[in-house]
Amino acid sequence: MLDLPVTLAGLFVGLIVGMTGMGGGALMTPILILLFGMQPLAAVSSDLVASMVMKPIGAAVHLRRKTVHGRLALLLVIGSVPSAFLGVLILQRYSAGVELQYWVKRALGAALMLVVTTLVVRPFLARWRSSTPPPEKLVVKTIPTLLIGVLGGLIVGLTSVGSGSLIMMMLLLSYPSIRLTQLVGTDLVQAVPLVASAALAHMLFGDFHLGITASILLGSLPGIYIGARFSSRASDRVIRPVLVVVLVASALKLLGASDWVVGLVSASIAAFGVGHFVSSSDRNRATEAATETATEA
């Protein structure tokens, strides 16, 4: 049975994903737990199955455009697919009942903090990447790439978070000279079997809810399309701080922080973000004014 509030939440998450390219699990799973009161395992299971349907859409586009590094994607898949399946089995083997839900929430909170780190660090990595001269041919590092797949797959299996943001950041650190389109395309393609493996395991051993998954898809698919259409008009300087505040607040709640701690930290980050936005806007206006003056002269 479809759930309209969950559909609307899926629409909102889809818009954010379309505008920013970040993985939807970092937003959808916490929303299901914190706003709709779903059990953590059910939220992770249902969101992963929804992601399994959505991931091939973006991957197909990049395959058609030939912006996928085949060997890199293959190594990631070899590491991540069994690791993602193993992550679900670990949940079932070492936890049960209330204890299982507790550890899923804690693991999800930790994963969200890692996602926040990627959002904060990504602009600096991009600047570092732009200063790195591109080699004639990308040299694939077999063992580090396999380890990235193993770690990313395990996190996805446990929390549904990481198939996009975390793995992409680890790839960027390992291959700073990789072309951006190839980075995104490779990450999207490797995420298809990764998410499928985790989703299959959750369907077999988790707490999959068909109605919740269908509701997420009903909202998120058009949301991603609309968000992608408007992505060029969305200011990264505005979206990124808002996402950081939302994800930090969600992570702290999942990690068991009190409401006043969540409020204090969120307000501090928001204040810092507003101050940074205002100061950067002033600098941009000053630069534009100086350029105009120099042109007139």
* Rounded mean pLDDT for each run of 10 residues along the chain, 297 residues in total: 87 77 74 86 85 78 80 93 89 66 78 78 66 66 93 85 76 79 80 89 82 90 77 58 76 78 75 65 58 57
- C-alpha 214: how far from its chain's center? 20
Cα–Cα dist 41/60, whole Å: 29
pLDDT tens digit sequence for 75-123: 999 999 999 999 888 877 765 556 667 777 788 888 888 777 777 776 6
How many angstroms separate the Cα of 56 from the Cα of each of 45, 61, 211?
18, 9, 21
SS3 175: coil
Cα–Cα dist 122/140, whole Å: 22
Q: Is residue 44 part of a domain?
A: yes
Q: What's the domain range around 198?
A: 4-257
pLDDT at 80: 93
Q: Is the pTM of this model over 0.75?
A: no
Q: Is residue 110 part of a domain?
A: yes
Q: Is residue 15 part of a domain?
A: yes
Q: Which amino acid, 187?
A: D
Q: Is residue 212 part of a domain?
A: yes
Total number of domains in the chain: 1
Q: Is residue 252 part of a domain?
A: yes
Q: Is residue 273 part of a domain?
A: no
User: 10 Å Cβ neighbour count for 292?
Assistant: 10
Q: Is residue 14 part of a domain?
A: yes
